[in-house]
Amino acid sequence: MGKNMQLSLLYVVEFTMVAFTLLLVVDGRRMIETPIVRLDIQTNQVTMSNGIVNVTLSIPYGLVMSISYGGVNNLLATQNVEKNRGYWDIFWNRTTSKRARKKFLGNSFEVIMDTENQAEISFKSTWNASQSDELPLNSDLRFVMLRDTPGFYTYAIVERLEGWPLVYIENLRVVFKLQQDMFHYMAISDERKRIMPMPVDRETGKVLDYKEAVLLTNPTNPDLKGEVDDKYFYATDNKDDRVHGWVSSTNPPVGFWMIIPNDEFRTGGPYKQDLTSHVGPTVLSIFVSRHFAGDDLVIKFQQGERWKKVIGPVFLYLNSNSSAMDNPTILWDDAKRRMNQEVANWPYDFPVSEEYIKSSQRGIIRGQLLVNDSTTTLVPASNG
């Protein structure tokens, strides 16, 4: 800089970001420099950070052990063992009568991208014929962090090779379990947002006709006495399931949101219902399931059948605002705004995997869809 230049430093805090941004003022011009993305790789874990959020995952498994944001050291359920906080899992079987649940656990770790603006890491698991009792599926779990972004993305590439044995996939999802003493307010939609029971309230309640439905007989919050808690109350059509999550009771409150920007990687179509968030506190994104449909939506691979699919990315969005102490819907409204941004940005351009199809690789179909309603008149589908 020239000796006559005036230099001053200011700190700026964004609305939904609990992080300091360096504001450099040179000769009256504002030059904002946000923290860069960093990877801290240790023997058994890797931490992704961008000055806003820190995410720590196990090596080589790819389990999310810690999410630090907004002055909270770990938003995830520290009362759980580290392998039961954030993970991808699958329910599968080789007969229709017996199923197994398996968490996707990588057996190799790789840094895919590590720049100032983006980090992408991979946790791969491969199957071979000697593993006759294991799920015959390869998986590649990806986690992405971008600069100046309050959250992180995750997606998975799953694959079967030719000649592999028969398998049925019933359920495939990503799961996050939050601090139960911290998160009490849940939002699924504008019509379904409320203070939720605690896990202990279900334990002390009365199980009704099926295990998911529990009458709250002695809840920690007396206002909830006499209510029935059931995770299926909060199921949502795929077309409407774009954002859901929780708001903490910390000061300032923190929002933890699952944003699903598109339906193309979910089975069942737009009117398929599935689970979202529920007592735990638990946050889900379900990509394959038989919920509300049965075996017709089980993916049934026959002997030797090949298959490959990219699932996601979905976005784990974090926000915070001290005003939400009295009105948690402030964070819900902000999460909806961010959801609209993510939907508008689909398909994303940042995933590094060649398997993810970018917008420049996609085509466009234009025209009119007509429905033959068994009359002589073809009816525009928009009238249905």
Give the rounded percent of residues in the chain with a pLDDT score beyond 90: 80
Mean pLDDT, residues 16-29: 48
Are 171 and 338 within 8 A, CB to CB?
Answer: no
CA–CA distance, 14 with 21 (Å, rounded to integer): 8
State the DSSP string of 62-76.
--EEEEEETTBS--B
3-state DSSP assignment of residue 157: strand
CB atoms inside a 10 Å sphere around CB 96: 11
Preceding peptide of 347 cis, ω within 30°: yes
pLDDT score for 31? 58
Tell me which of 131-140, 153-162, 245-254, 321-330 is least confident.
131-140
**Environment class of residue 14 by beta-carbon count within 10 Å: exposed (0-12), middle (13-18) or buried (19+)?**
middle
Side-by-side strand order, sheet with 254-259: 108-114, 118-125, 138-146, 151-160, 307-320, 254-259, 243-248, 183-187, 193-195
Q: Where are the domains of the chain?
A: 1-33, 38-379
38-379 carries CATH number 2.70.98.10: yes
Q: What is the three-state SS of 115-151?
A: CCCEEEEEEEECCCCCCCCCCCCEEEEEEEEECCCCE
pLDDT score for 6? 43
* Span 179-235, pLDDT tens digits: 999 999 999 999 999 999 999 999 999 999 999 999 999 999 999 999 999 999 999
CA distances from 374 to 59, 369, 379 (A): 59, 16, 10
State the DSSP string of 264-293.
TTSSS-TT-EE--EETTTEEEEEEE--TTT
Whole-number average pLDDT of the chain: 90
* Span 290-343, pLDDT tens digits: 999 888 999 999 999 999 999 999 999 999 999 999 999 999 999 999 999 999
Are 183 and 248 within 8 A, CB to CB?
Answer: yes
CA–CA distance, 194 with 191 (Å, rounded to integer): 9
pLDDT score for 160? 97
Tokens of 40: 């801290």
Q: Check whether 70 has a pLDDT greater than 50.
A: yes
3-state DSSP assignment of residue 16: coil
Q: Check whether 383 has a pLDDT greater than 90.
A: no
pLDDT score for 133? 82
CB atoms inside a 10 Å sphere around CB 212: 16
Q: Check whether 381 has a pLDDT greater than 80.
A: no
Mean pLDDT, residues 276-297: 95
Of residues 20 and 246, more confidently modeled:
246
Q: Check whether 8 has a pLDDT greater than 60.
A: no
CA distances from 297 to 103, 168, 169, 193, 301 (A): 21, 10, 9, 29, 12
pLDDT score for 27? 56
State the DSSP string of 102-118.
EE---SEEEEEEE-SSE
CA–CA distance, 260 with 155 (Å, rounded to integer): 11
Q: Check whether 112 has a pLDDT greater than 60.
A: yes
> What pTM value is reported for the model?
0.89
CA distances from 266 to 144, 197, 270, 309 (A): 20, 29, 9, 11
pLDDT score for 132? 78
CA–CA distance, 336 with 216 (Å, rounded to integer): 31
Mean pLDDT, residues 373-382: 66
Q: Check whether 352 has a pLDDT greater than 90.
A: yes
Q: Check whether 137 has a pLDDT greater than 60.
A: yes
Tokens of 136: 């015959």
Q: How confident is the model at residue 129 (pLDDT cuts 50, 70, 90)?
A: confident
CA–CA distance, 319 with 293 (Å, rounded to integer): 35
